[in-house]
Structure 1
């Protein structure tokens, strides 16, 4: 008779544990909002208020981007701003709130509220216009007026796509998951999120324009960060090699994407839309030549320098373990080791002692040796 209560105890404890974990996660999320800046708090508040506005079909029509109304001759240009805060599903509202909090934690210390606002406006407005133009193309191809007047573009899909590009730019080599077939890094986030959005849109989980809106957000964000974002040193953009457009794609495809993107970029340079990146050479140092790329912020340059030093140290340690001195084995077999006479030393050094000391070139004690950075 005592067995049923004993079996119900684990279930009750499991339920209480789940409730406790949910309350802890909810409280941590609430505390994250409390300690966030006023910009993040205001954005979260707008997302919550706008969710309740979506229960009114009239408010949804006048606050969402409708391709037939936002473009000429109607010019509902206010919807380019208001559509970002509208979500008809609570799950999507929670996702948007989480992304806003994460982006505030990551970007505000680096950019400041003003740069975040500029990034938000450029990415979201450009993505909304491009998505509306895409549906106008669908209308001209099919003749279906639903693409013009029944399509509602709303949500932070473009900003989420843009934020994924920022994560790739700042922390490209951070490992997110370790899978049997490879590692998932931050550089893979934009493409993985885009593919996920397309699949969910095809399955009917997300509304039709969301994946297109997300894709244009990724593209607009990369163009802005690559060529136009102004840095504290006065330069614009980020011309790093690991931030090219082809770096968004896996290795089998990046070569073909690079050919296409480089061709388009060359055409844009010829017509004057883009400028050719200028490299600055500093030859004032007698031992090193410094090459400066435009758009490199000091903090970002320091991060890249640390990564380069780490990779170089790993390569040097690997080659140092595999390196061998020619003719050393022959000398040991003959039983005689050649001597290296070091100026200023009382006793000569053998070859093995010189190798163990890590220096194979004659040096003097009084002279200082300065090496050049690779």
Structure 2
């Protein structure tokens, strides 16, 4: 009983949403493996998302994420997704975790479904774009989790096998770059959902996620409007201006049609609130990162201006005429010393000393 108590205690410590989602992934993936092993079918359209058949199986827009078509993919998913969901479920709660999973799974699948149909209309190649691809797995959810980690602990450094080191905020774009390369070389399915998952997760966390732990004056707030989580900071500075113009235009249109929920009366970017999932610890880490950035900028500017200051300080004494120091007058032996209670008088400037010299 002592041997079995440890696994049972570990399973009981896992939050319910994480436990149920992990169990569903194992069960549905095992069912897919059994169907592939016993049958001759290439695709299973009632489990995976096939663009030409998903209209008849609409539940696959959500359940296709529970299917991993290879044992390696299943192992990688189980190593990364359940521990991450466990962390965020304790941070956000069960309801917000379920919303996050649904958003990161269904919206990328819907976008991929529409994108395949657009490709079919443009090329009339139904065998490839409608029935030649099946979207599956949790790649989009993994991207969303990386985006959530970037929001909560952006400056945290991860290390894999003592060789690969990177900060958390660099991982989503690295995964996105990998998706872009795989898509361009011909592996559109399923790697393109990584890009859609990144966009869906950022929009949800930026504008729609309800902040359950922190409130501003008792008002419910949504999203993370901090400047460090803005869209432009995901890209190199070279493209900040066009992305900023596009993002501001889309944001103004969405605000005009009330597509974005109202948050606190003052936005953080105009000096208002600063809500970060994780409470004070995550907010302190974000403030620390901003402070370090400001300190680096100050040190860079001071080091750039120090040579000119040194040059001006060295040239100033040369411009002024040098004045010889006043000559010290040696007192005669017969002069009595000043008592400790009297003040000392400079002999060079006293009238009596000048009369004596005359």
Bucket of the pairwise TM-score, normalised by the shorter protein: 0.5 to 0.7
Contact 2:276 2:283 survives alignment (8 Å): yes
Partner of 1:170: 152
Map 1:290-305 to 2 at 5 A.
291-293=271-273, 295-296=275-276, 298-299=279-280, 300-305=282-287
Question: What is the TM-score normalised by the length of structure 2?
Answer: 0.67
Shift of 1:134: 0.7
Tell me which moved more, 83-92 or 36-45: 36-45
1:68 aligns with 2:49: no
Q: Which runs of no fewer than 5 residues in structure 2 stay unpaired?
A: 1-6, 160-164, 326-358
Matched, 1:228 2:212: no
Q: What's the TM-score once normalised by structure 1's chain length?
A: 0.65
Q: How does 1:333-344 map to 2 (within 5 A)?
A: none
Q: 1:159 to 1:111 in 2, by over 3 A?
A: same
The aligned runs of 1:38-49 (5 Å cut-off) are 38-49=16-27
How much has 1:133 moved relative to structure 2?
0.7
1:248 aligns with 2:234: yes
Task: Call closer, same or farther: CA 1:52–1:267 in 2, change over 3 Å.
Answer: same
**How far apart are 1:62 and its partner, in Å?**
0.8
Alignment check: 8 A CA contact 1:153 1:210 kept: yes
Distance 2:296 2:188 in 1: 48
Partner Cα separation in structure 1 for residue 242 and residue 251 of structure 2 = 14
- In structure 1, stretches of 5+ residues that fail to align are 1-28, 178-182, 283-289, 337-374
Bigger Rg, which one: 2
Q: What is the count of residue pairs matched by the alignment?
A: 290
Task: Tell which has more relative contact order, 1 or 2 (C-alpha 8 A, sep 6+).
Answer: 2
Residue 336 of structure 2 corresponds to which residue in structure 1?
none
Query: Residues of 2 paired with 1:334 and 1:281: CA distance?
Result: 62
Deviations 1:9-63 (A, max 9, x none): xxxxxxxxxxxxxxxxxxxx99987853343333333222223322325682211
- Looking at structure 1, the residues matched to 95 and 323 of structure 2 have their Cα atoms a distance apart, in angstroms, of 74
Q: How does 1:240-279 map to 2 (within 5 A)?
A: 240-274=226-260
Candidates 115, 140, 154, aligned match of 1:134 = 115
Query: Which residue is equivalent to 2:193?
Result: 213
Which piece of structure 1 moves more, 53-62 or 124-133? 53-62
Identify which of 169, 179, 192 aligns with 1:197: 179
The question of whether the paired residues in 2 share the 8 Å contact of 1:87 and 1:154 is answered with yes
d(CA) in 2 for partners of 1:67, 1:200: 20
Specify the alignment match of 2:82 in structure 1.
Answer: 101
1:54 corresponding residue in structure 2: 32
Displacement after TM superposition at 1:295 (Å) = 5.0
Q: Secondary structure at the match of 1:69?
A: coil
Q: Distance in 2 between matches of 1:335 and 1:307?
A: 54
Alignment partner of 1:120 is 2:106: no
The answer (yes or no) to whether the contact 1:230–1:295 under 8 Å persists in 2 is no
Structure 1 residues 92, 280: CA separation in 2 closer, same or farther (over 3 Å shift)? Answer: same
RMSD after superposition: 3.8
Rounded Cα–Cα distance in structure 1 between residues aligned with 2:8 and 2:67: 21
Tell me by how many angstroms 1:101 deviates.
2.5
